[in-house]
Amino acid sequence: MSLLFSFSGRVPRATFWWCGILLWAVFIVLFVFLDATFGRTSTLVLYPPFFWIVAALAVKRMHDRGKSPAWLLVALLPVIGPLWLFVDLGLLRGTPHENQYGLDPLTVDSDYLKVEINRP
């Protein structure tokens, strides 16, 4: 639950994409169900939690990139803002080591004693 509702910590690209895809799928299914069952106005209940979760994921992704969440305001710029956010949040790798927002999520569960043998 902290992945979806907390604004602290970091989230890697893969988790960001999978959560985003699943979030959109759940939103669409619930939207269609509520619209068909109770009418269009009942779908308004979906928007606050949806935007909260999207904001939490975007802030954590910015943390992973080593940037302040204030950079999300660039989305207010027409055309270039959303494109820049798409590239920055969805395509670029996060900072490789610990930063001011926490440990690297890709190395948190890795075993530092693991020895790999590279053979030709």
pLDDT digits (tens, 9 = 90+) for 10-57: 999 999 999 999 999 999 999 999 999 999 999 999 999 999 999 999
The one-letter code for the residue type at 107 is T
pLDDT digit string, tens, across residues 95-105: 888 899 888 88
Calculated CA dihedral for residues 70, 25, 19, 7, nearest 10 degrees? 40
Question: Is 61 part of a structural domain of the chain?
Answer: yes
The torsion region of residue 67 among left (phi > 0), alpha (psi -120 to 50) and beta comes to beta
Q: Where are the alpha helices (DSSP H) in the chain?
A: 2-5, 13-38, 47-64, 80-90
86 in a structural domain: yes
Decide if 102 is inside a domain. Answer: no
**Domain-embedded: residue 28:** yes
The range of the structural domain enclosing residue 70 comes to: 2-90
Tokens representing residue 6 in the block: 């907390």
For the purposes of burial, counting CB atoms within 10 Å of the CB of 15, is it exposed (0-12), middle (13-18) or buried (19 or more)?
Answer: middle
Predicted model pTM: 0.83
Domain count for the chain, please give it.
Answer: 1
